[in-house]
Chains A and B, each alone.
Chain A
């Protein structure tokens, strides 16, 4: 057992027990889901972020690759109160350590969460140290030299070359998916409803996508600040009006930008499995899975765009559509993993709308 610290760029330090040898830096964000630690850690949208789990007990049900949302662990650090540390096989703790992800446990995660909530998301680094002062000086080096630079992170999370997936519905649509760091379950949900999906890297030119002659276009989730995703936005701008487009999370933000809107950074983001959504299309209220640090600025949207979903906790725009350009998107995660399945029929909505076009 080693003592370690999470040092925030704003100056606070949180002591804990450090597992593994890695020392890292990343944006510190908290997630309030009770389950789904593996889905979270392997979600590419968490690229360059450290995750604080507010639920107290981690690793309880071990680990299994079937829960992974991508091929690797994306988070830069796993911060929690208690993590199961036994010789039982398939330990989540061991998985993280072996994948080079530092785990800082026995952290006062509530205090940390209150700090993040009150002052907003900041960078932090996990370092091995016996004393707080040493930790802080080590951290200075990380903040100065190793912090990921602002930019288009979707390029790092996206596939490098296009690939094709066979769908299960032989009579279904052929869909082009722009991969900003796509979760596997988006692909799974599409596969059950489509004939074929071709996944393209996030900086693919519109012409390349058009040459595939898709029936519809899907924009995936992904990490980072959407305003830096210039190539992706340019591609989507060109595709708007070409075929039906649907976006999730980063895809939603990119679509908003492509339609002329702006995004902004939320103080501490939305990450959890219990956010209420008001869906004005179905006139229903349901629970959603959320993971985003940026949101679409309602006022920036052109008047012909309709706000279709709101997050009822803070009235942040959670979905939009444009009749004029045949596109729609949601900020939250209908593919869940983790989280409730209440919104999964948005995939059906996508298919229906795409078929209408």
Chain B
């Protein structure tokens, strides 16, 4: 019983950079675990390569290692730290796989480190398909039948057994190539032949299809005494066929009877025991045939997962925290229920509300990628809505997604978009109901359970029935709100303004009530203020809270706005509390630390949308709200909140406007001697042509009002300009002209993050980009301290930046993106808020920049002496920011880097010198660094001289070279050994064949101009498919070279993070 006292020091593995399928939910779980274990008095050693996480803040653990999650690095840390145990179950698949490797290489045994939570045989029993099938057989659970067909005949025989439809999965092809679904014998024969051909081993797994079955997930926990509880049941609205991460899901499950549910629960318990999960959390996915109730097991994860983060937020049960405590020997009946504080943790949460999760997609970022949802996850983030009823919770999600669309928009109706799963399906489904399709029809088309379709139809009918007089009718207006219709939707329907609707609502006292998430459906008293709004109860009278600050979060993760902003929010909450304030946090992202109930003093799980935020402000009347930590989202809604009469802390709206309005901003910059790239606005092609004469090509084009570089392209000549205007005609008009900027070719870019109060200011750091201008700042690697920026230029840009902050009147944070060309400093962009680079800078410099920014906002005075210790260029380690891309999920999309951001996450490499830091950043970003082999080069003319030196170095390091046409000639002319290979259009075998056959280790492919980019796409796509490092920018090549050199020496060390200053 009770805590083991033989464990004094544990290593916790994080999950590394954010990518699709493994996101900030593991920061949430790791942070919870760190806090819990530290509180137990254990020494906690944390390893994670992701600097944007809360968990890697130096004070969260005894020691934090921001190092690659790879065997050699972790081995070295284990040797240094000599821990008693390692917890592999809180860092996603990355940590689990890493633990298995450490175990199988005998490292854990050699160093006498015990695996806690899941032993390797347990991990294998759950993860190895064959072993897991044996487990299922032993407990009598069913799973989709499958046969490995090694010949056409075997395949045909198997079909009789399986029945149609059949799923074909050729073995050893990447991304499911050559596979598919066959609905008839005829179709099956054709697909089987193709699949056998496509598989290098001529093996095809043919599997019984469960497409259209209802899909469920149970989040469960078990302690060492065998006490088993289901924390949450989750039902996918999208039936089987769509990855659960891409499905809209609901908790608790809604459409299973008690008998069906309990049978599923029994099976989950048997599986968990049979797999041998000793302690901790696990999830098990099931599919249920709606026709006859047949049930199969899809998979199991013996660890904390994305859905356990969701389950924790949905129920209030802190799965990761409890899992950590169970792993060191506690049992569920020894741990308190953290929310009620009056009962124990051995219970199954009872919900008196409904939770919906809706994924957020980014298909628009990946040109060419098909918007199709399959069994491979593609969403980049998610939102959660809590409502008293399904409708209320579901509709909240669509308010949180931050898209311009509503579910009632008049979309160009397309039945296919209802029938086939895609990211826009819900909009088309609502349109279908609006057009009069029946519940039965829609249910047939989508295979979505009719219960859900009925719910949607209720909402559509409610909306359509609204008349202007509803503003005088309390009952109707309240019902509309109960059905989740936003003021904006009501306003649109009745042809009045949002303000008019809000005013009428308030007059009739139709305001939300804030109810508690209490884990027990009100059965026991609970004082934890984890709240959600509902119109299903009478509102409380407003309260007044002068000591409370409302912190607006950043909403769902997306490309361009992710975990970095949650980091800023959470650090701010801590600092505000330090300064004696209470903090009310508002956010809708269930993956985050900010939405943990014990992060803030009050948690409102609500959309970062003006309507719910205004309601919260009206309810609690705080001192004010802070909008500059949650990225662009809160900045965008701030004007609405100000207009409603609430106070914004920090920079004023006037300051924000000054920084964000291009015209005003340029004028200010010029006062300070910042250069500004020449620019113009053009409503059409001819205006553009005329304007560009003033400064010449290349130029950067983008439509007005874009975020994260959407539709931003570098245009090299007139022909491309014409093409740009043709392709983006829908987004360019008189009212929304195209912005055309002079492109500073080969300029060095830097991010500057600073904070300013009325009385003091401080540069937090200057992050030098490794790639030259033209690559989005979020996609370029970066380094602190700068390696190429001249000292005097750096000093000048620092003082200019501080002066600019003064002029703008910044109170709080300012991020500047600058370009340096020929020692001249150009202003690219200013963001009057905390930025994506802030967490990296905090970790790289040790400066608690977020805390200082909050102190600035609160008007705290700091003396010069106090400020003097915060020197960002203070001789700490060199830190390189690495970048992670999701291209493997979007094979049809070009992985070339450009002005539109595509990365999902970042890593940090720390070293004694630049090369060591680079090496680690690349390793952490999942680059492979081949120590030998062939380097294929295809260079644009501009880069040839520039990269000649690199080509020579490749040869000196023992690599061979191959190249196509002009590049090969150029290298040979310069006396380098080089194999000349065919371009794709020159016939076969060509360069792509060479890559696909495994002869190429590294690819250097620099190109520009739309045409050349399209022509060389095949090269880059093969790199993505075959995991060949692909460098598309000359400065990146040089950096990669440095890392390779370092890698070949085999020397590296590991360093714990220094304590924050």
User: A313: which B residues are within 8 A, CB to CB?
Assistant: 343-344, 347, 524
- Report, as a range, how many residues of chain B touch the other chain: 35 or more
* Chain B positions 242-287 with a Cβ under 8 Å from a chain A Cβ: 252-259, 261-262, 265-266
Check B515 for interface membership: any CB of A closer than 8 A. Answer: yes
> A276 with B347: in contact, given A55-B521, A284-B227, A287-B229 (CB under 8 Å)?
yes
- Decide if B536 is an interface residue (CB 8 Å cutoff): yes
Q: Provide the residues of chain B in CB contact with A273, threshold 8 Å.
A: 348, 350
- Residue B354 interfacial (CB < 8 Å): yes
Of B256, B344, B524, B536, the residue contacting A312 (CB under 8 A) is B344
Q: A55-B252, A114-B522 are in contact. Are A81 and B344 (CB under 8 A)?
A: no
Closest chain A residue to B254, Cβ basis: A60
CB distance from A39 to the nearest CB of B (A): 6
In the bound complex, residues from chain A placing their C-beta under 8 Å from that of B353 are 56
CB < 8 Å neighbour of B351 from A55, A82, A113, A275: A55
| B763 CB–A CB distance under 8 Å | no
With CB as the reference atom, state the residue of chain B lying closest to A53: B352
User: Do A54 and B522 touch across chains, with their CB atoms under 8 A apart?
Assistant: yes
Residue contact A340 to B343, C-beta cutoff 8 Å:
no
Chain A positions 280-298 with a Cβ under 8 Å from a chain B Cβ = 283-287
Smallest CB separation, A276 vs chain B (Å): 4
A contact residues around B520 at 8 Å (CB): 32
| A286 and B522 in contact, given A55-B252, A67-B257, A110-B537 (Cβ under 8 angstroms) | no
Residue of A nearest to B538 (CB): A108
Binds B, one of A193-201, A242-250, A254-262, A331-339: A331-339
Q: Is A299 interfacial (CB-CB < 8 Å)?
A: no
A111 to B352: give the CA distance in the assembly, Å. Answer: 11
Q: Is A33 an interface residue (CB 8 A)?
A: yes
Interface centre among B257, B346, B520, B537 (most CB of A within 10 A): B257
Of residues 211 to 259 in B, which have CB atoms within 8 Å of A's CB atoms? Answer: 225-229, 233, 252-259
B678-707 contacts to A, CB under 8 A, are: none
CA distance A62 to B879 in the complex (A): 60
B409 interfacial contact with A, CB 8 Å: no
A263 at the interface (CB under 8 A from B): no
Q: Do A340 and B265 touch across chains, with their CB atoms under 8 A apart?
A: yes
- Cβ of A338 and Cβ of B524 under 8 Å apart? no
Q: Tell me, rounded to whole Å, the shortest Cβ–Cβ distance linking B542 to chain A.
A: 19
User: Chain B at the A interface: mostly helix, strand, loop or mixed?
Assistant: loop
Interface residues of A, dominant DSSP: loop
Say if the beta carbon of A224 comes within 8 Å of chain B: no
B225 engages A284 (CB within 8 Å): yes
Write out the residue numbers on chain B whose beta carbons fall within 8 Å of the beta carbon of A312.
333, 343-344, 346
- The one of A111, A284, A340 in contact with B262, judged by C-beta atoms closer than 8 angstroms, is A340
Any A CB within 8 A of the CB of B178: no
Q: Write out the residue numbers on chain A whose beta carbons fall within 8 Å of the beta carbon of B347.
A: 274-276, 287, 313
Interface string of B328-348 (1 = CB under 8 A from A): 000111000000000110111
B719: min CB distance to chain A, Å = 59
Interface footprint category on A: 35 or more
CB distance B390 to A57 under 8 Å? Answer: yes
Docked Cα-Cα span, A274 to B454, in Å, equals: 30
Chain A positions within 8 Å of B413 at CB level? none
Cα-based distance from A81 to B389 in the complex (angstroms): 8
Tell me whether A109 is interfacial, beta carbon within 8 Å. yes
Q: Chain B residue with minimal CB distance to A63?
A: B257
Task: Known A-B contacts: A110-B537, A276-B346. Give 14 more (CB < 8 A).
Answer: A32-B352, A34-B253, A35-B258, A39-B258, A60-B255, A61-B255, A109-B352, A283-B225, A285-B332, A286-B228, A287-B229, A313-B524, A338-B258, A341-B262
**319-372 of chain B: CB within 8 A of chain A:** 331-333, 343-344, 346-354
B451 CB within 8 Å of chain A: yes
A interface footprint on B150-181 (CB within 8 Å = 1, 0 otherwise): 00000000000000000000000000000000
Question: Which of B522-566 touch A at CB < 8 Å?
Answer: 522-525, 536-538
Is A117 interfacial (CB 8 A cutoff)? Answer: yes
Q: Of residues A56, A60, A108, which shows the largest number of chain B Cβ atoms within 10 Å of its Cβ?
A: A56
A272/B252 in contact, CB under 8 A? no
Q: What are the residues of chain A within 8 A of B454 when measuring CB–CB?
A: 84, 86, 88
Closest to B263 in A: A341
Q: Is A172 an interface position by the 8 A CB rule? A: no
CB-CB < 8 A to B1009: which residues of A?
A: none
Would you call B262 and A272 a contact (CB within 8 A)? no
Known contacts A117-B522, A287-B229; decide if A61 and B256 are in contact (CB<8 Å). Answer: yes
For residue A94, give the distance in angstroms from its CB to the closest CB of chain B.
15
B881 at the interface (CB under 8 A from A): no
- Cα–Cα, bound, A333→B1016 (Å): 69
Asked if A36 is at the interface of the complex by the 8 Å CB criterion, the answer is yes
Choose among A88, A108, A285 the residue that contacts B333 (Cβ–Cβ < 8 A): A285
Asked whether B350 lies within 8 Å of A274 as measured between CB atoms, the reply is yes
Q: How far is the CA of A108 from the CA of B343 in the complex (A)?
A: 25
Decide: A82 near B389, CB < 8 A? Known: A272-B350, A341-B262, A341-B266: yes
Task: Give min CB distance, B227 to chain A, whole Å.
Answer: 4
Partner of B521, one of A54, A61, A338: A54
- B708: chain A residues at CB < 8 Å are none
Task: List B contacts of A286 (CB < 8 A).
Answer: 227-228
Interface string of A19-61 (1 = CB under 8 A from B): 0000000000010111110010000000000000011110011
A342 to B439, CA, bound (A): 38
* Shortest Cβ distance from B451 into A: residue: A60
